[in-house]
A and B are shown apart, each in its own frame.
Chain A
Amino acid sequence: MPATERSLASLLLLALLLCGCAAVAPWERGRLAEPQMALDPDAKQRALREHTHMSREAAAGSAVGAGGGCGCY
């Protein structure tokens, strides 16, 4: 009995170990470190969106940040 259970547990253990990319439950990560909780989850896409908004709206992000350049089309 112990032998069977032991080998079953070992097999399960092996299976778990090989499963490196299993979806992990939320509590297994630091929440604020989650990529979607980052201060800027998609910085480059946001930079592009703001660049196009800036070319059509008066309230450009203050000149700070994106750098100069007009590209105002």
Chain B
Amino acid sequence: MRALAAAALALPGLSPARAQAAEDDEWSFQYGRYREGERDLFGVHSDFDPIEVDNLDFVGRLTLFDRVKVALRWVQDTWSGATPISTAPQVLEGNRPTNPDGVSGATPFLQGDVFLSSDFDPLEVDEFGSVLGTNPQLVHTLSSASPETRNQLDLDLGYEWDAAELRVGGGFSLEPDYESRFVRLGGDFDLDQKRTTLRFELQFGESDTTALLDHDAVPYIDTSFYAGRIESFPSTGRRRLEDDRQDWGAQLGVTRILSRDSWIETRIGYTRSTGYLANPYKVVQVGFIDPGQQFLAPPGGYYAQVRALLEQRPDERNQWTWDTRYAHYLERLDAALHVSYRFFHDDWGIDAHTLEASWGQPLGFGVTVTPRVRYYTQGAADFYEPWLLSQQAYQTIVTDPDTGDIVSITPFDRRLLPSEFSSDHRLSAFGALSGGVSLSMQLARGVRLDGGFEYYTHRGSLRLGGGGEGDFADFDSYLVSANLTLDAAALHAIASGVPDAHDGHVEHAGHAPAGVLLGHMLPAAGDWMVGLRTQWSRQDGDVLHGSRSASDADILARGCGGEPCTNAPDRMDMLMTMLDLMAAPTDWLNLMLMPSFVNMEMALRPLDGAAPDVHGSHDHSTGGVGDLSMFALFRLFDAPGHRVHAGAGLGVPTGAVDRKHRRTHQESRGYTHYGMQLGSGTWDFLPSLTYTGRSGAFSWGGQASGVVRLEHENDSGYALGDLFQATAWGGFALTRWLSASARALYTLQGSIRGEYDRPHDVSTPMDLPQNSGGQFWDLGFGLAAGVPSGFLAGNRLSVEWLQPLQDDVDGYQLERTGALFAGWSVEF
């Protein structure tokens, strides 16, 4: 039979499927959360939270004109928590509790004195100066950072021929301290009747680091090596490191179908990086053994003064990788076994191996479960050192014996230190084992849900061949993710049958402007709608009291209740991203689920005449998962040209209300401003009543909606005020597919009830519950575009700008500048 099959393949035009099935057109949304466990600080309790990352990933892929492929991708990472800044002997007590309650403070202790034995092991010494014994234990010194958000946008274009594909793309990534731009070029070539595929990828990236050094630690860090690249700001005491790097990468691969049940792929890659390759937030602690100060040392031992230096890495890195992947199909189980191995080598002295295996097992009914396991091991970089010792003084100070004035300060000789050093545990020797499972559920209508979980442990002891870093560097982490994928082609098999497409006109009536929630009900039972909406709001300008601007003196005196304020809010931005999932189980009922994700940023300015703010920090940001809303919509009235529906919703308090300011010095600043929390913290009832009408090219509507808090306080001791909104709009269809709208909005917001139940800093009006709420009038202008027919039918894009007309605030609040709403949805 094989001979027949082989002979058949020789017939012109008949060739087997490519190993790489073409990616289907799709829209895909993914949320992931990564969280690390606590680092072992050997008895010290740290109030820092471990690293936590929320990741949002949206991708849209389309095929145009049969052969042109377009892919657009947006990724957002929001991360917060503590990371190690350095490693030091435990005896140095870098994570020393400073408050009586034994909580590890914000400033890592990077300086100090250490006694060493004759073998240079750290000694434990009691308060009387008696040596208790050696303690070689090392420990990470932790430092926290405020939440940061990274956004990345990628655009890729591809062109497909019968036996080849060419791709070009690029993108950029933005973070407060790091900006990256990259381009890439790639292609596939099919040979041997598509049994073999050759692939190449080329990539170039350029990145800029603009890092504000950890302002609590920076007074204690020696940055002299980077003198030319650091800019100092004496007024705020901040230092900023600016530098850049370039990365070139190339990859060549071959994929081959081995049999009807298996394929194999092998790739080699080379990457070259130049420029600033270090991490501006990592330091190496160096014990300086000053020959002139050894009289302080214990007998036979040494006395060292520990100082911290910003790490130094080579300014060039060449990396080689070799990957091999193999997949085998097992017929009896309908399962696929994937095995892969990667070898990594670079000129920093690191060799690493990765072995991964997964088993894809369909269970029937469209469900597939895939357990996987991974083992990783790496060696240490040549210049990796947990900490260093140097036989020289940190600095030699010469004083005038007569006057006592300092004559000269000679710093240490840099040439006596290694030219490169880093304590970053990523460059140490260790092994990591991880295991996880993914679940994939294919629903009808081209909708697929995926979920995944992975648990990861990083252990020095797991390193292949031993010699891994000590257990102080061990940590565990988990990653959990959920993904919704819509197969664009399958969706539109049904979308082209969507009613409401009168004469090919897009039905704009029944759709409200972008800023109105729940303005539209699905036309028929069995319909679905998936959408993505973002809202960006800004407050900027004057602080208002009632509807008038308040002067700084006024704010100072009365803005913070009985205590004088130190700062006033200067600017506040909020970006909220919402995923709308709507389904119509019957003709008269729609159900909707709306998870949200929030990022907030606030900048403060000092008030004229206020006492100087000891805390020194004027920027705050928070970010993470926001509240989840669930709605049921009921169709009350539906006649040609007029529709009325009512909604009853429930706000689920999934958004955090316990976000705190970053700790500075030895004080905890407690909860952040009320307006910077991510959710309401209470279960809320969300009623609404909506009317929409249409006549010819004109459409109009109105909505009354509210939020009623069902609890009188949340877990942090307060509850947001109730909300009432009334809005009315009119729209006009400019063309078959484009319409414009104008809207008026009135909002009545109640003040916050209760207050934080734990200590929190009151330095701006925003820290008081009475400075919230008020009445607000806005005018909105919007545009909406819908696709009436064709393979993109059912897609809709809308934007709206909400312009504040009048704010009448309770207490002292920052005035609003406006809000921009943008949304995309697809009905099917």
Q: Lowest 5 CB-CB distances: which A-B pairs, in order?
A: A69-B173, A36-B360, A68-B180, A59-B344, A59-B352
A42 to B185, CA, bound (A): 23
What residues on A are CB-neighbors of B342 within 8 Å? 59
- Chain B: CB-nearest residue to A53: B376
Task: Verify B269–A49 contact, CB threshold 8 A.
Answer: no
Task: Verify A21–B59 contact, CB threshold 8 A.
Answer: no
A31 to B17, CA, bound (A): 10
Q: Which of B140-182 contact A (CB under 8 A)?
A: 150, 152, 154, 171-173, 175, 178, 180-182
Task: Verify A63–B368 contact, CB threshold 8 A.
Answer: no
Task: Verify A68–B352 contact, CB threshold 8 A.
Answer: no
Task: Verify B271–A63 contact, CB threshold 8 A.
Answer: yes
What residues on A are CB-neighbors of B206 within 8 Å? 68
A25 to B504, CA, bound (A): 42
- Known interface pairs A37-B327, A37-B329, A64-B249; A56-B426 also in contact (CB < 8 Å): yes
Q: Which of B10-39 contact A (CB under 8 A)?
A: 16-17, 19-21, 28, 30, 32, 34
Residues of A bordering B, CB below 8 Å: 21, 23, 26-27, 30-39, 41-42, 44-45, 47-49, 51-53, 56-59, 61-65, 67-73
Distance (whole angstroms) from the CB of A41 to the closest CB of chain B: 6
Residues of B bordering A, CB below 8 Å: 16-17, 19-21, 28, 30, 32, 34, 51, 53, 55, 57, 59, 75, 77, 79, 81, 83, 150, 152, 154, 171-173, 175, 178, 180-182, 184, 201-203, 205-207, 247-251, 255, 257, 260-261, 263, 265, 269-271, 273, 279, 319, 321, 327, 329, 331-332, 334-336, 338, 342, 344, 346, 348, 350, 352, 354, 360-362, 364-366, 368, 370, 376, 378, 381, 426-427, 432, 436, 438, 440, 444, 450, 452, 454, 456, 458, 477, 479, 481, 483, 485
A41 to B34, CA, bound (A): 21
- Known interface pairs A41-B370, A52-B34, A69-B173; A57-B432 also in contact (CB < 8 Å): yes
Task: Verify B249–A21 contact, CB threshold 8 A.
Answer: no
Task: Verify A36–B30 contact, CB threshold 8 A.
Answer: no
Interface of A is mostly: loop
Task: Verify B444–A21 contact, CB threshold 8 A.
Answer: yes
A39 to B329, CA, bound (A): 12
Distance (whole angstroms) from the CB of A54 to the closest CB of chain B: 9
Task: Verify B331–A47 contact, CB threshold 8 A.
Answer: no
Interface of B is mostly: strand
Assuming A30-B17, A62-B249, A67-B203, what are 10 further A-B pairs, CB within 8 angstroms? Answer: A23-B364, A31-B260, A32-B17, A36-B360, A39-B255, A57-B352, A58-B427, A59-B319, A59-B378, A73-B81
Task: Verify A64–B202 contact, CB threshold 8 A.
Answer: yes
Distance (whole angstroms) from the CB of A72 to the closest CB of chain B: 7
A67 to B59, CA, bound (A): 14
What residues on A are CB-neighbors of B481 within 8 Å? 45, 48
What residues on A are CB-neighbors of B173 within 8 Å? 67-71
- Known interface pairs A38-B21, A44-B59, A52-B477; A65-B350 also in contact (CB < 8 Å): no
What residues on A are CB-neighbors of B360 within 8 Å? 35-37, 41
- Known interface pairs A58-B378, A58-B381, A58-B427; A48-B205 also in contact (CB < 8 Å): no
A35 to B334, CA, bound (A): 11
- Known interface pairs A42-B440, A62-B321, A63-B247; A57-B271 also in contact (CB < 8 Å): no
Task: Verify A44–B354 contact, CB threshold 8 A.
Answer: no
**Considering residues B21, B201, B251, B458, which has the most beta carbons from chain A within 10 angstroms of its beta carbon?**
B21
Contacting A65 at CB < 8 Å: which of B178, B201, B338? B201
Task: Verify B175–A68 contact, CB threshold 8 A.
Answer: no
A53 to B251, CA, bound (A): 20
What residues on A are CB-neighbors of B432 within 8 Å? 56-57
What residues on B are CB-neighbors of A37 within 8 Å? 263, 327, 329, 336, 360
Contacting B270 at CB < 8 Å: which of A45, A62, A71? A62
15 contacts across the A-B interface (CB closer than 8 A):
A32-B16, A32-B17, A32-B260, A32-B261, A35-B368, A37-B360, A41-B336, A44-B28, A59-B376, A63-B247, A64-B184, A64-B250, A68-B172, A70-B173, A73-B77
